[in-house]
Structure 1
C-alpha cells in the first residue's frame, strides 16, 4: 500500500474513460485536502486503501463523463431545475422516513439510490438503465456484506429515494467523507469552505438526470443532513426551495449517528475509535446547528419544522402538512401513494441496535448542556 496521489487518481480516471477534460479545476482544492487527510489521518487498512482509490477514481471518472455529456448535448445546461424542498436535520431524526414518504407523491420527484450511484448512462445502455440498476443491486449486496450491522441502523433500498449528497461526492465537498473516514482536517476545511461551486454542480447533476427522463420535470424533494452546513447556499442556489427541518433530541440523535459512523467506517479502517467518533460528531453538530440558527433567523419564511415524534406517530398527517407548506396541496392520489409507501415501510427490515452515549465518550448530561441552545427553541 502506498499513499493516495491526486495526479495518479486523475490519470486513472482518464485511462478508464478515455476522456481528459475535468472542466473548471476548482474541485482540486477539496480533493487535495481530502487526499492529504486520508493519507495522514484515516489509518486505512489495505482493503480500505484499495476501496478508497477505486472510489475516488470512479468519482473523478464521473466528472469527466459529465463534461462529455454537456459538450455533446449543450441543451442539458438549459434545463430548468425546480427544488421544492431540501429535508435537513441532524441524522437519525426521521428525515429518511419523511423523505421516502414525500417522494411517493406523484407531484414530486427525488434522487434514487441506483442513479446517485451511477448517474450517467453506461456505453450502449438503453433508456431503461438496466445495466446501472443491476450494478447498483450488486453494489448494495457487497456493502451489506462489508457492513452487516448497517441495515439495523438504516434501511437500504437500492431502487428507493436516496440522499442527493451522494451526487455532491463528485465535487469532493461532502459530509460523506468524514462519515466514512477519520479525516478531521478535511472536516474542518469543509465547514469553513465556500460551497457555492459544489451546489452549482449539484444543479448540473439534477439537470442531467432530468435530461435522461423528461417525465421527471417535476419539483425535486431532496434530503441530506449535509445541507445544514450550507443552508444559505442552498437557499440562494434554489430560490424556490424550502428547508424542511427535522427535529429530535440530540441526546438520542448524536449517539445514534456515532453508531452508524462506526459501522460505515469499519470497512475502510481497522482502527475505528468510538470515543473519537462520538466526540467529533457531537462538536460538529453543535457548531452546525449554531450556524443553522443564524441562517434561519435571516429568512424564517423558507423553513418548515417537523418533529421526530410526529413523523413516527402520525406520518400521513405530517406528509400532508409538509406538502401543503411546500405549495403542493395533496389530493387523493397523494394520499393513496403515502398509504402505499407506509405499508411498504412496515415490511422493510428494521433491526435493533443497542448503544449508549457512554459507548462514544459522551453522556446525556453533557449532550443536554451542549445542545441546550437548540433544544430549548425547537423541541
Structure 2
C-alpha cells in the first residue's frame, strides 16, 4: 500500500509553533534525526490513512513539547540546576524480563522512576495544579485509544497508565529513539540510528529528568532507576552522560527473545500500516540485535565495573532475591521497607498480568538453528 500523502518537516514545525504560540526550539541539532525519520516514513513505512494522521499528530505533539521545554526552562531557570543522579539503566534485548525487573525495583522507596503518564505528558498544562489531574486523565484516555487500536498488545505487554514506564518515550522528543523502527517499517532510519552520535539526545534526556524532578520535590535525593532496550544502542553514551550509572543487563536466550519481540513489533506496526510483513520484521530485528549485542560486548569489556547481570530465569523464579541483589550492586542495600514494597508490587502484578501469546521463529522467517548460530557468540558468554 502506498502513502496517500507525505509528511513535511517544515509543515510539522510550523504546526507545532502555531499550536503552542512559541517559536524557540533552542539548538536545532534535532533536525537531522527528524529529517531522516520523516524521509524514511514517507518512502518505506507504507502508512495507512489512519497511520498517516496518527503519525502527523504524534510528531507535531513531540515538536510542541520541545518548544514547551525551552519555554519552561526560560521561565524557570532553576530547573537547569536540578541535580539528576541515575543509579541504573536496565537494558537487555526486549522480552528478557526487563519490564518486571524495572517495575519491581521501582517499588523501592530508595529510588524513583519515570511514570507512564508523565513520559506521555512531561510538561505541566497551563494553570494546572500540582496534582497533574488533567495530564493523568489524558494519559488514561490515550491508553484506552491505544488498546482499541491494538487489542492484542495487552497479551504481549502490560501497560499501566500510572506505573513505571520506559524513559525512551522521553527520548522520542529528540527523534533519536528505537520507538520509531519498532512502530514503523523504517529500516533506513534504523540504520542511521545505529551509527548516530546520540550524545545530544542523552543531554536532553537529562534535561527531561530535571523537569520531572523539579515538578516533584519528593524525588530529591532519590536516584533514578530507568529502563529501555534502546540504551543498548548507546551504552557508552549512557555511561558517559550519567556518572555512576550502572547498566543492568537482562539476559535471555535470543531464540526466545527475538521472535517474541518480532511478534510485538508486528502488533504495534499494524496500527499504522496495512502492509506488515512478519518475515521482513523478523529478519530485520534478528540482524539488528546480533549487531547490537556484539557492540555491547566491546563496551562491557572496557568498563566491566559498570555492569550488572541478571538472567531472565532468575527474575521469573526468584524475583525478590534478584531485586535485593541488584539494589546491593547499586550500593543501595535492601532493607525491610524494600522487601515490603517488593512483595506489594508482586501481588499487584499478579492481578495485572497480561495473557499469553503464541509465536514461533518460523512465523517471522527464522529458525531455532539459525538463531542459535547467529547468537552463538552471546549465548556462550552470558547464558
- Where does residue 312 of structure 2 map in the other structure? 308
Match of 1:283 among 263, 283, 287: 287
- 1:208 and 2:211 matched: yes
User: Equivalent of 2:179, from 176, 193, 200?
Assistant: 176
Q: Name 1:241's counterpart in structure 2.
A: 245
Residue in structure 1 matched with residue 330 of structure 2 by the alignment: 326
Aligned residue pairs total: 379
Point out 4+ residue stretches in structure 1 off by more than 3 angstroms.
none
Q: Deviations over 1:239-261 (max 9, x none)?
A: 11000000000000000000000
Q: Unmatched 5+ residue regions in structure 1?
A: none
Superposition RMSD on alpha carbons, in Å?
0.5
SS in structure 2 opposite 1:306? strand
CA distance in 2, matches of 1:349, 1:133: 22
Residue 91 (str. 1) matches residue 112 (str. 2)? no
Preserved contact between residue 151 and residue 349 of structure 1 (Cα < 8 Å): no
Give unmatched runs, 5+ long, in structure 2: none
- Could you tell me whether the CA contact under 8 Å between 1:27 and 1:172 is conserved in 2? yes
1:156 to partner: Cα distance: 1.1
Paired with 1:2 and 1:21, the residues of 2 have a C-alpha distance of 28
State the distance in 2 between where 1:296 and 1:352 align: 34
Structure 2 CA distance for aligned equivalents of residues 46 and 349 of structure 1:
33
Deviations 1:153-175 (A, max 9, x none): 00110100000000000000000
The offset of 1:349, in angstroms, is 3.3
| TM-score when normalising by structure 1 | 1.00
> Secondary structure in 2 aligned to 1:245?
strand
Normalising by the residue count of structure 2, what TM-score does the alignment of the two structures yield? Answer: 0.99
Q: Determine the C-alpha separation between the residues in 2 that align with 1:76 and 1:344.
A: 34
Are residues 1:358 and 2:362 paired? yes
In the alignment, structure 1 residue 55 sits paired with structure 2 residue 58: yes
Residue number in structure 2 paired with 1:337 = 341
- 1:317 lines up with 2:321 in the alignment: yes
CA displacement at 1:2 relative to structure 2? 1.9
- Give 1:147 deviation, angstroms: 0.3
1:165 is aligned to 168
Deviation for aligned residue 1:222? 0.0
Residue 145 (structure 1) aligned to one of 145, 148, 164: 148
Could you say what secondary structure the match of 1:246 adopts?
A: strand
Cα shift readout 1:281-329 (whole Å, capped 9, x = no counterpart)? 0000000000000000000000000000000000000000000000000
Q: What is the aligned partner in structure 2 of residue 228 from structure 1?
A: 232
